[in-house]
Amino acid sequence: MKVLRLASPLLAVLLVLAVWQLAVSVLHVQPYVLPSPHRTWQALMDDWDNVRSLAGQTVYESVVGFLLGTGVGFLLAVAMAHVPIVHRVLYPILIASQAVPIVAIAAPLVIILGYGLAPKLVIVGLIVFFPVVVNVLDGLSGIDAGMVNLARSMGAGATKIFLLVRLPATLTPLFSALKLAAAYAVTGAVIGEWTASITPGLGKDLLLKNSRLDTAGVYADVLLLTAVGLTGFLLMTILERLSTPWRTRGTARRWFRPSAPRDTKGSR
């Protein structure tokens, strides 16, 4: 069972590769239109040193932008949940910010922030912060009022109630958002590089190869970008499992049992 569960994503990847290969060889597609998986892999290997260092740049932009965007998003959500006026003022602005096409504001961002790292971080941040705000806000407002009342009846102060009751309740929705954001962040970095960059990066490299009709190279870059996005998603999934153990486990992990006099019986 477990083997099957772990193997199934691998099977899915193999299936995609098989369809891809089949399409290329059965339909006799020209390599400059659609290179075969093998050619793509070859292109990736041939250009590995170059592509790897470019990927490092793109990963850097994605990660820093991700941290900034999600961090700001989280703080905004907390502020909005606790101060009604902040909520009323900010919410329409946040919605409007999502209606603005990111590509369209990339150009003015360059004018304001220059061609360096800053506009890319802003673009990544703009893309990732919204799901965080919405989800964390939902988490904070969805808390059982009874739980807060219980805490109040025990004489707890607002800070303790926030730390012990409200904040942990945001973890589940927060991670839903972080998983999305991890995948979006790479997209954001690529858009940033396309519109606002003279510095190298995978997105920039992709454009360059495209203009040279190096289609296999383009696909190689896409493959790498996908891998980066997937890695981010997986990292978030692992982090989620570790920080919200009550969602997937019946009992607390052994190392998270303060004062437990050794384990009695194993369970689940």
Partner 1 sequence: MTDNKLTIDSVEVRFGETLALAETSIEVKDGEFITLVGPSGCGKTTLMNVIAGLQQPTSGQVMMDGANIAGKPGHVGYMFQKDLLIPWRTVTGNIVLGAALTGRATKADRAAARELAARYGLGDFVDHYPHALSGGMRQRVALMRTLAFHKDVLLLDEPFGALDAQTRLEMQQWLLEVWADSGRTVLFITHDVDEAVFLADRVVVMSARPGRIQAVHEVAVPRPRTVDTLMTPEFMDLKSRVLSGLYHKEAK
- Residue of 58, 107, 49, 22 lying closest to 222 (CA atoms): 58
CB of 113 to partner 1, least distance (A): 40
266 binds partner 1 (CB under 8 A): no
Q: Confirm if 119 and 201 have CB atoms less than 8 A apart.
A: no
CB of 243 to partner 1, least distance (A): 9
152 binds partner 1 (CB under 8 A): yes
Residue 263 neighbours by CB under 8 Å, 6+ apart? 254
Residue 154 neighbours by CB under 8 Å, 6+ apart? none
Range 13-16 contact pairs with CB under 8 angstroms and sequence separation of 24 or more: none
CB of 248 to partner 1, least distance (A): 10
Instruction: Kindly tell me which of 168 and 200 has the beta carbon lying closer to partner 1.
Output: 168
Q: Binding-site residue total for partner 1 (CB under 8 A)?
A: 33
Alpha carbon 38 to its chain's center? 29
Q: What is the DSSP letter of 170?
A: T
Among the residue ranges 65-73, 111-119, 145-153, 193-201, the one whose residues contact partner 1 (CB under 8 A): 145-153
Instruction: Kindly tell me which of 28 and 262 has the beta carbon lying closer to partner 1.
Output: 262
211 binds partner 1 (CB under 8 A): no
Instruction: Kindly tell me which of 98 and 251 has the beta carbon lying closer to partner 1.
Output: 251
Contact letters for partner 1, residues 156-185 (x by CB under 8 A): x---xx--xx--x--x--------------
Residue 79 neighbours by CB under 8 Å, 6+ apart? 86, 90
Burial of 224 (0-12, 13-18, 19+ CB in 10 A): buried
CB of 186 to partner 1, least distance (A): 31
Three-class SS of 37-76 = HHHHHHHHHHCHHHHHHHHHHHHHHHHHHHHHHHHHHHHH
- Pick out residues in 219-258 that bind partner 1 (CB under 8 A): 244-246, 249-252, 257-258
Contact letters for partner 1, residues 4-43 (x by CB under 8 A): ----------------------------------------
260 binds partner 1 (CB under 8 A): yes
Which residues contribute to the site for partner 1 (CB under 8 A)? 144, 146-147, 149-156, 160-161, 164-165, 168, 171, 244-246, 249-252, 257-261, 264-265, 267-268
